[in-house]
Structures are given as C-alpha cells and as structure tokens.
Structure 1
Amino acid sequence: MGLSWQQGPLSPGAVGHFLTPAPPPERLPYAERLRRRMRVRFHGTWIVDSEDVVLLHEPGRYPVAYFPRQDVGDTVLVASGKVTRHQDFGDTAWYTVHVGDRTTERAAWEFTALPGHAAVLRDRVAFAWRAMDAFYEEDERILGHAADPYHRIDIRDTSRRLEVRLGATVIARSGHPVVLYESGFAPRWYVPRTDIDVARLRPVEGQTFCPYKGLCDYYDIGDAHRAAWSYPNAYREADRISGLVSFEADRVEVFLDGARLRPEPGQSVVSHGIDRGLDVDEIRAR
C-alpha cells in the first residue's frame, strides 16, 4: 500500500477517514521530492539519470516518478503530437521514446498546462513503466512501480492459535503462526508447513508478483480454488515468511483463537504484472 493506491488514505478504497469537520475532496493528488537517485534504462542506454525526482501519488494509482526535462537525453524524446487532458493537471503531451534503432510510441508524457498549485511538476517528464527496460535506484533495479516510501511491512511471531478447516477436515493447526502487517492491508497469518496437512495443498499454475515480497505460489484445497498461497523465496525484507503458507478466509474456514476470520477491508489485493524484460530468475535473484 502507499498513500493513494490499494487501501491507502488518499485512495478511493481507503480503510480509514480524515477527522475533519468537512470531508476532504474526493481526489487529493500528492507530490513530493523523492530524495533518491533514479535512472531509467531503454534499449541498453541510460536515458535519464537524476537526483531531482518528484513522486506523484494519484488516487487509485501506483506512484509515478517525474524527471526534470534537462536530465533526459537530448535525442530521447520525440513529440508525438498527441495531447490528452488530465482531470487534475490539464493538457498532457505524449512523447515517443527513441534510442538507436528502437522506437516506442506514447512511452513518456508531460503536463503542459499545469495550474499554479501543481507547479512542482512543471518541465518534468514521466516514463511508462513497462515501456522501459528497467528503472533503478542507484544500481539496484526497482520492480513493479516506483518505490513507495509509505509502504511498510512488519512481521511478528505470535502464540495465538490458528486453525484452518475445509468442512469437517482440519487443514492446519498452529500455536505459533506468523502475522504479517502490510500498510493498509488486513493482517495475513502464515503457518509453518510442519503444522499443515500439506497433502491437502494442490499446487496450481500461475504466480503473482509483489514488489516487496517476491513471487507467490498458489494452492487449491479440495474444491476451493487458490485457497492458500506461499512465497517460497521471499525477498530479504520479508524473509521470515519464506516457505510459510497463508490461507484465504473467504475460501476456507480460518479460526484465530476460536473466532472465525472474515474478509475485511484490505483483504483483497490488486496483483502486479511482471515488468517487460523481467524474467522469473531475475526476480528470484533479487
């Protein structure tokens, strides 16, 4: 989660509310200087390298990095003549990105008629994430979208009792699950495989990707489709859940200290696609 997407405070699906006498506007775009060096690679070339990046948070969208025009290579941007209108920031000019013998249309954009209150975005260009080869902070590739400084994961051990059932069948029973708290999402309870009847987990095809946790595998349980999931090799920031299994409370019965868990706001998650040119081995190697 960040400020403006999934269930963040500035998103359409916010789980909380502002304690103000009058409701704030439905749309509250937020921009701030990122204070990180960012680079963009296209056709094997660094086309922008900047320490003056502005990160824009728009309601319902992943954060987007905006780079000063002067930090973009001189011949990279070719005006396409296409202009659209943004509901908050006015006219938007689109660019073709060109390097060597490679050209990608509508791969970058710039707001050209900004209102005064959005002047921080003036003379700045954003690049379509999946149209580029890769985005980097310093020398490390950033996956999925621009890194969100407001996203946080906390993982805690607990002695609470967790039980998972499918009808009369006990799938898992644990007195030491691990709970993962992720900004704005419902808590996720992970169970060691030693506390699971793993013969009941049937692996299914298809993985999803989280920029903060890595590649996720899924399992059917009986006729409950994708009722459980696991990060077999979670990123180091979330390594404590590697190999553990979590269960969907709307597809099987999950009990915590005897009380059945129900889906709640923040339970559903919008999954990420894989960046162009990014293969599974590179994700695992991070």
Structure 2
Amino acid sequence: MANNSDLVKLAQKLTAEGPHKYHATPRRVRGLLNGKYAFDTINAYHVWEHPYYPQFYVPSASFTADATLTTTSPIDGTNGGAHLARLSVGDKSTERVIVFNVAPLKDLVKIEFSELDQWFEEDVPIYQHPKDPFKRIDILNSTRSIKVALDGVTLAESVSPLFLLETSLRPRYYLLPTSVKWEYLTKSDTETYCPYKGKANYYNVKINGKEYKDLVWYYVYPTAESLPIAGHLCFYNEKVDVWVDGVQEEK
C-alpha cells in the first residue's frame, strides 16, 4: 500500500480550513492512465492547496467506463469528510487519490498530478502542474545589453536578449546561442518540466577546474505560448553575476 501520510495531512488541512482558494474552470480536463482516459470533464476546479499554484480537482461523476474509482478508507481527523481512494484503469492503478465529501470540495477528487500518464487542458498536454489562470508570461524583444559572468569569467554577452517576464517571478534573460562562450559549457543529463514553457534541458558550467551543475537551461520544443525562446539559453540569475545595461543585478 502506498505511503499516503502527506495526503492524509493535506485532507485534514483542507477539510478543517478549506483550500487557499478555488475556482470552477470552463476548460475541458482529461487524464490519461494506462492508455485510456480515466476522466473527462468540463466541471473541474482549480484548487490552490497552498498560495503558489493550483491543482485540478475533478468531479467524482466524471470518471469514464474504463476507470474504476474505489474508496479504500476514511481519513482520520476529517470526520468522514475525506477518503483515500484507488483509481484503476486495466492493470494499472494509483492510490494517491482523495475523495472529498464535505463543502467546498464535496464530490471532488484529487489525483496526484504525477500519477497519471498525461493531463490535458482541452487538447493541449500540461506538465508538472496546471497553469495558474491568474498568472501570465510575456516574452519581449529587447536591445538592452546583458552580460553574464561567474568567478570573474565572462560567459555570455548580448545586445538582443529576450526578456521573459512571469507574474511574481524575477525576469529571465534568454540569449541567442551565438552570445554564449561555449568552451565553458558541457551538457547535463538533467531534464525538468514547466507548465508554461515545456521540457527544459541543461548545461553545466566549468570554470577554473570547478563544475557548476545545471547553471544554464534551454527549451528545444517549448510550448506554443513560449515558442520565441526555442533554442535560446538562460543563465540561472541567482547563481551567476548579471549586468543589465551595465548595472549589476542583485542575486
């Protein structure tokens, strides 16, 4: 049986205090498990379990004939307001599931995002977690100069960066590959996923015999909304020295 102690604590918190916030969404939301759609709904909710980003909670009535949703045990400390459950499609299942029986989440089901093979908003795959409908990304061409250095060594210089501005986060500067000094970069095996930008790959930086892991990232095939950054490189502002029009940023 899965160790669901974190789900138990989450259910106890949500049934006692409610979510940070929640909103119904008009988006069609589907989840793929074992090659079949486990649910298909236009009545999902964005639920913020914490202030940072939402998850999708789906109605218990939205599960398809290919899926079996079975409650396994009531969760202590919720007064019957939440149950752990198992979601199965064919011979594949997950027990990282909560069914809620109390307002404001009554009849909604939380499935751990990573437990499904793929989530979809309408016909678009989403990664890592749902996008926040109150958050946006702007990618702007700029002629402000960008210089990146580390340990006194210049790593990149550009006068044609892309400024990626994401709500509540610091600016990121995406640079053309010809702006970078490649002799200091080596490929990393790291991959990460962003709901707004897609799958990122990384480079390490090696200077004066010291290697700095995953200091640079790039997107080969970004999401449609972030397409302009394809092939550009971005240095981790917090870990390098960056000058914008000659003014050094704080890390």
Q: Percent identity?
A: 28
Which residue of 2 is the match for residue 122 of structure 1?
106
Which residue of 1 is the match for residue 22 of structure 2?
31
Which residue of 2 is the match for residue 180 of structure 1?
164
The aligned runs of 1:67-216 (5 Å cut-off) are 67-73=58-64, 76-85=68-77, 91-104=81-94, 106-114=95-103, 118=104, 121-216=105-200
The code of the aligned residue for 2:81 comes to: D
The code of the aligned residue for 1:153 comes to: I
Is the 2:71–2:84 Cα contact (8 Å) retained in structure 1?
A: yes
Query: d(CA) in 2 for partners of 1:235 and 1:212?
Result: 7
1:98 CA displacement: 2.7
RMSD of aligned alpha carbons: 2.6
Give the 3-state SS of the residue equivalent to 1:146 in structure 2: coil
The aligned runs of 1:263-278 (5 Å cut-off) are 263=251
Alignment TM-score, normalising by the size of structure 2: 0.80
Aligned residues: 230
Is the 1:82–1:94 Cα contact (8 Å) retained in structure 2?
A: yes
1:84 CA displacement: 4.2
Which residue of 2 is the match for residue 218 of structure 1?
202
1:118-168, Cα deviation, whole Å (9 max, x unpaired): 2xx222222222222322233333222233322311011111111122344
Which residue of 2 is the match for residue 45 of structure 1?
36
Query: d(CA) in 2 for partners of 1:162 and 1:245?
Result: 12
1:230 CA displacement: 1.9
1:60 CA displacement: 4.7
Gaps of 5+ in 2: 1-16
- Residues 175 and 136 (structure 1), Cα distance of their counterparts in 2 relative to 1, 3 Å cut: closer
The aligned runs of 1:245-284 (5 Å cut-off) are 245-263=233-251
Query: d(CA) in 1 for partners of 2:187 and 2:91?
Result: 43
Query: d(CA) in 1 for partners of 2:130 and 2:151?
Result: 43
Which residue of 2 is the match for residue 238 of structure 1?
226
Alignment TM-score, normalising by the size of structure 1: 0.71
